[in-house]
Amino acid sequence: MALSGKYDFKGIKKVGSAGIRAALATSPYTSWLLRFGFLLDLGLEFATNWLANNGLGILNIGAYFVNGKLDTNALSNAIEAGIIKAQGPLTPEQIKEIDDAVIKAADKALAYGKLVNKP
- Domain range for 20: 10-56
Q: Is residue 48 domain-shared with residue 66, that is, in the same domain?
A: no
Q: Is residue 38 domain-shared with residue 64, that is, in the same domain?
A: no
Evaluate whether residue 35 is within a structural domain.
yes
Q: Is residue 69 domain-shared with residue 50, that is, in the same domain?
A: no
The answer to whether 53 and 9 are in contact (CB under 8 A) is yes
The number of folded domains in the chain is: 2
| Residuewise pLDDT in 10s, the chain (119 residues) | 567 677 777 777 787 788 888 888 888 888 788 888 888 888 888 888 888 887 776 555 555 566 667 777 888 888 888 888 888 888 899 889 888 988 888 887 776 655 555 54
Evaluate whether residue 117 is within a structural domain.
no
Q: Which stretches of the chain are DSSP H helices?
A: 10-25, 37-53, 58-85, 92-109
